[in-house]
Amino acid sequence: MSEGSTELLRDFSEADAWLARIAPPVDFCSLRLVESRTQAVATRRGVPLPSRIDIGCGAMVTVIDGGGVGYAATSDLSFPSLYQAARTALTWAERMRERAVIDFSSVDRPRRGGSYATTEEIPWEAWPLSEKLERLLETDALLGADPRVVDRRTRWEHRRTVTRLVTTDGISIDQTRVRVVPDMVVVASDHGETQQRSFGGRGSCRQGGLEMIEALGWSEAGERLRDEAVALLDAPLCPSGPTRLLIGPSQMILQIHESIGHPLELDRILGDERNFAGTSFVGPGDFGTLQYGSELLNVSFDPTLPEEFASYGFDDEGAPAERRLLIERGILRRGLGGGTSAARLARGGEGLPPAEVEAVACSRACHWNRPPIDRMANLNVEPGEDSLTDLLARAEDGIFVDVNSSWSIDDSRRNFQFGCEVGRRIEGGELKGWVRNPGYRGRSTDFWRSLIGVGDRSTFEVLGTPNCGKGEPNQMVEVGHASPVCLFDGIDVFGTGV
Amino acid sequence: MQAWFHDVVNYLCDLLGADQRFTCRVTGEDSDMVRFNGGRIRQAGSVTQRELALQLIEGDRQVRGTLELTGDIAADRFPLRQLHDALSTLVREAPPDPHLCFPDAVSTTEDREDDRLPPTSAVLPLILAEQRDLQPVGIYMAGRIAEGVATSSGLRRWYETHTFDLDLSLCLGLGPRERDRSVKLTLGGTRWDPAEVERQLATAAAKAERLRADRVRVAPGAYRTYIAPSGWKMILRTLGWRGAFSHRAVANGTSPFAALHRGERLSTRVSISENHSLGWTAPFSPDGFRRRLELPLVEEGRVSSVCVAPRTALEYGVPHTGATAEENPGSIEVAAGDLPLAEIPERIGDGLYLDHLHYLNLSDRGTASVTGLTRFAAFRVRDGRIAEPLEIVRFDDSVLQLLGERLIGFTAERERLPEGRSYHRRALGGALLPGAIVEGLRIVS
């Protein structure tokens, strides 16, 4: 066969026509195409690491027929391959329909198409490799300018993902998302003590182009992180005992993610994740009634903030994304689940009592080779009215922590223990000296009910995480979180180590 | 797939410019994936994927890239050329790399395991059958996995196998009382043995029956505890991820086992090795370097070796072990002890029996302290007998101590635990581990 003789779906704009050619006569068929291009530059201890270009491209065909659903995913975008994928998906749908968790044909499907694109001011290609490396090496030199620094790393990553979803319901959705993940880590060690500081624990990531690297404060961070790592070497151990705990946005995002995001996922409530990620302490009857946190707590599912990491126009099943409050004045209102999960809950799936829980557009897949499941997207604590000065004054004497270093929570998302890179004493309403190895424990709703202060927009930061793992088969997705500084009362704080 | 691998390598050789070299790794998978909940199917499908990872070297500079491909060389030539063009442009802008490594071996090896798995449709009825009113929840994945590594100087290595992974829980239900109560089992390998699967399901179902009793809460404190092999897998994985066995982490002071490298030692009962001779993984690294098939990491309590990636070897001037860049061992093996599994409750006397652990993380690097929670079957042990199921509890304790002065012993029996992960692609590998009784596991909440 000569080069180019195989008919390939290289131009995603032709997807509608291809779907028409490959779709069997079924209740529903969709073709989801994904093309990704990730580029990265990095240094370690003053030496540039090999630069990278990672290119992904593939398709998932989904068939719903007679109540069953099946998928077939392939990196072969030739016509015979996609045609066969549609037949394989149909075979799965037929094979599982008698044992399906729900009659998939009866679940309402999205009916509106559209498009979404990230605003990217400075494209990755605008700066040549030499300029990127020069800037990373400048930062690397700042990180290393102390004899107690034993390791240091810098990295910029740029992800461009193009997706096109077409369905036999006649909808067509095009989305282009561009994300940047700047990262730096410095490790200092002396007299047997080792301390690490990082650029938000990989939480400093945004949707957008290279302009976001500076918007996240890259230039000023190197010297500061180095000095903080060194200062922590001689800091006293974080004191133990119940106290007022002021938490910065870089740690708040982890707290939101683990103790609000995951327990509100409807597939966990339905038991899909019982064998892997876990269940949830939240039950179907808790929506509309559970006092999840204090009255100061307002949590939004907000895929509309343009710079936030997981913003999009539509989820991977085609549902249009809209902002929704999940928790209002501390009361749980809505969960994180797509239309299929909401329908299963409404019909009393898995032996649960029927419950009406509004779906939000969060059926997401990590790539073309995994089917969509219920995921967080952007999940944010809404800003309050207190300035940082107000919060410190209210804390009086307590501990300030920020930037996660260790995270652990039980499978139903109740019992958590988190460690942080940054710890400082609060004395007389002012930030004072460093304390090392701070950690804190709690139970999710008790913790959120102890929220006594929420920072205003001046303390609000838009962050996220590139790596949220869940699902069988396993999937890693990008998640956005934004939060102000928050103050909690009576938290069990401790220092780890000796 | 192997013929296509050679086609890709030959085409890359054709594309090479003057002064260019390459190493490449080709991976492929044809897998069925059936996810189920409560004995009913949530998602079912198939995944076919082919991928190339390319290290392009020009003189003393290098860049890297990956590319998902179709598996048909006629269709793949165009994207391969595009990637080569892009990397060629990039490598000319790249600075010299003082730690550039390239496998100099020129050989051809082939390891191939024939397909002995039944069709997925034949396996599902056994998995989805109700087990004494218990709900099967989890995933079955099966199919071909292949991996080839080549260099422009003539190295060709191929590994192909057909494996299954059954990762399953038998759950009591989803009501408020049953929600967190289940027994987990993981099976994997190249042979599907229905009798063995049925035996394991029956054993798990019997264990799950014990979970119907009222749970007891244990107060924070120290408890003599049995941790099953899957729990040790989690502990060793957490330590490995944080650099316990990494030369680079030891060198920069971030290894949680740094104290062992300063002369401290674990119990003489502890011997840990990375053992690729178990045959669960390819006998070569992703960059084509031959792996040390058996790498003793801890021998009778003393650190003996660490994982050294080729790049680390150049950076620190030490020999490499063919380790991956993460220097985190795969196919880990812990030597068996002499505690009979059947006598575990009796040997505990009064304490805890933990079948699994959940969501572990390092809580203190200096003391190799790990925190995590109980999950699945966890029981109170009283008077030498398994008693009530436990409410979920959190532990936080030093592994240096648990495997040091507080190790009572390992079991004589060991379990083969498949790797089971499937981020981006199904992973190969696993662990061969005993269970162990430790004194005074610290329960904190």
Question: If you count residue pairs, one on A and one on B, with CB atoms under 8 Å apart, how many are there?
Answer: 276
Residue A7: inside a domain = no
Task: Mention every residue, 6+ apart, whose C-beta is less than 8 A from residue A381.
Answer: A252, A256, A297, A298, A299, A454, A482, A483, A484, A486
Taking the CA of residue A369 and the nearest CA in chain B, the distance in Å comes to 6
CATH number for the domain spanning A66: value is 3.30.2290.10
Q: Are residues A274 and A355 in the same domain?
A: yes
B45 touches chain A (CB under 8 A): yes
Q: Do A411 and B373 touch (CB under 8 A)?
A: yes
Q: Are residues B261 and B346 in the same domain?
A: yes
d(CA A203, CA A482): 10
Residue A149: inside a domain = yes
Residue A165: its pLDDT value, please?
98
Q: Are residues A35 and A173 in the same domain?
A: yes
What integer is the mean pLDDT of A442-448? 98
Residue A498: its pLDDT value, please?
67
- Residue of A451, A279, A272 whose CA lies nearest to B181: A279
- Structural domain span for residue A67: 12-233
Which of A58, A69, A271 lies at the smallest CB-CB distance from B68? A58
Q: Are residues B197 and B316 in the same domain?
A: no
Q: Are residues A449 and A362 in the same domain?
A: yes
What string of DSSP letters covers A276-307? TT---S--GGGTTT-B-S-TT--EEE-TT-TT
Q: Are residues A227 and A87 in the same domain?
A: yes
Domain termination residue (choose one: B172, B204, B236) = B204
Q: Is A104 helix (H, G, I), strand (E, B) or coil?
A: helix
As for the ipTM of the complex, it is: 0.95
Domain termination residue (choose one: A176, A202, A233) = A233
Q: Are residues A227 and A246 in the same domain?
A: no
- Residues 381-400 on B with a CB inside 8 Å of A are 392, 394, 396
Domain termination residue (choose one: B169, B204, B239) = B204
The percent helix, strand, coil of chain B (3-state, each to 5) is 25, 40, 35
Q: Are residues B289 and B184 in the same domain?
A: no
Residue B431: inside a domain = yes
Say whether pLDDT at A3 is over 60: no
Q: Are residues B384 and B256 in the same domain?
A: yes
Which of A192, A194, A473 lies at the smallest CB-CB distance from B254? A194
The terminus-to-terminus CA distance of chain B in angstroms comes to 52
Q: Is A11 helix (H, G, I), strand (E, B) or coil?
A: coil
Interstrand relation of A363-364 and A373-374 (parallel, antiparallel or unpaired): antiparallel
Residue A277: inside a domain = yes
Q: Which residues pair with B40 in a beta bridge?
A: B37
- Residues of chain A in contact with residue B78, where contact means CB-CB under 8 angstroms, are 3-4
- Residues of chain B in contact with residue A276, where contact means CB-CB under 8 angstroms, are 138-139, 167
d(CA B176, CA B408): 37
Q: Do A472 and B78 touch (CB under 8 A)?
A: no
Taking the CA of residue B410 and the nearest CA in chain A, the distance in Å comes to 26
CATH number for the domain spanning B160: value is 3.30.2290.10
What does the DSSP 8-state code read for residue B268? T
Q: Are residues A377 and A289 in the same domain?
A: yes
Domain termination residue (choose one: B160, B178, B204) = B204
Residue B321: inside a domain = yes
- Structural domain span for residue B261: 221-443
Which of B41, B93, B422 lies at the smallest CB-CB distance from A473? B422
Taking the CA of residue A323 and the nearest CA in chain B, the distance in Å comes to 28
Residue A175: inside a domain = yes
CB B342: neighbour CB atoms within 10 A?
Answer: 10
Q: Are residues B167 and B25 in the same domain?
A: yes
Taking the CA of residue A181 and the nearest CA in chain B, the distance in Å comes to 18
Q: Are residues B110 and B225 in the same domain?
A: no
Residue B216: inside a domain = no
Residue A42: its pLDDT value, please?
98
Q: Give buried/exposed letters for B271-286 (b at 16+ CB in 10 A, else e).
A: bbbbbbebebbbebbb
Q: Are residues A214 and A363 in the same domain?
A: no
pLDDT tens-digit series, residues A217-227:
999 999 999 99
Taking the CA of residue B270 and the nearest CA in chain A, the distance in Å comes to 24
Residue B34: inside a domain = yes
Taking the CA of residue A240 and the nearest CA in chain B, the distance in Å comes to 13
B174 touches chain A (CB under 8 A): yes
- Residues of chain B in contact with residue A278, where contact means CB-CB under 8 angstroms, are 358, 375
Q: Are residues B148 and B198 in the same domain?
A: yes
Q: Do B363 and A275 touch (CB under 8 A)?
A: no
B108 touches chain A (CB under 8 A): no
Q: Are residues B343 and B426 in the same domain?
A: yes
Q: What is the total count of domains within chain B? A: 2
Q: Which residue numbers in chain B have pLDDT < 70? A: none
Residue B210: inside a domain = no
Q: Do A369 and B49 touch (CB under 8 A)?
A: yes
Q: Do B45 and A92 touch (CB under 8 A)?
A: yes
- Residues of chain B in contact with residue A230, where contact means CB-CB under 8 angstroms, are none
Q: Do A410 and B426 touch (CB under 8 A)?
A: no
> Hunting for tokens 């200062």 — which residue is that?
A231
Which of A4, A51, A76 lies at the smallest CB-CB distance from B48? A76
Residue of A nearest to B72 (CA): A76
Residue B178: its pLDDT value, please?
86
pLDDT tens-digit series, residues A351-398:
889 999 999 999 999 999 999 999 999 999 999 999 999 999 999 999
Q: Are residues B55 and B106 in the same domain?
A: yes
Say whether pLDDT at A261 is over 90: yes
Q: Are residues A152 and A178 in the same domain?
A: yes
Say whether pLDDT at A5 is over 50: no
- Residues of chain A in contact with residue B79, where contact means CB-CB under 8 angstroms, are 55, 57
Q: At what angle do helices B73-93 and A129-144 cross, to 10 degrees?
A: 60
Q: Are residues B184 and B243 in the same domain?
A: no
Q: Are residues A428 and A468 in the same domain?
A: yes
Q: Are residues A179 and A311 in the same domain?
A: no
- Residues of chain A in contact with residue B421, where contact means CB-CB under 8 angstroms, are 474
pLDDT tens-digit series, residues A98-139:
999 999 999 999 999 999 999 999 999 999 999 999 999 999
Q: Is B301 helix (H, G, I), strand (E, B) or coil?
A: coil
Q: What is the total count of domains within chain A? A: 2
Residue of B nearest to A85 (CA): B46
What integer is the mean pLDDT of A41-55? 97
Residue B322: inside a domain = yes
Residue B214: inside a domain = no
DSSP H/E element including B313: helix B310-316
- Residues of chain A in contact with residue B97, where contact means CB-CB under 8 angstroms, are 47-50
Q: Are residues B148 and B280 in the same domain?
A: no
B220 touches chain A (CB under 8 A): no
Q: Are residues A217 and A302 in the same domain?
A: no
- Residue of B279, B290, B282, B288 whose CA lies nearest to B319: B290
Q: Are residues A153 and A284 in the same domain?
A: no
Residue A200: its pLDDT value, please?
73
Residue A1: its pLDDT value, please?
32
Q: Are residues B199 and B280 in the same domain?
A: no
Residue B104: its pLDDT value, please?
85
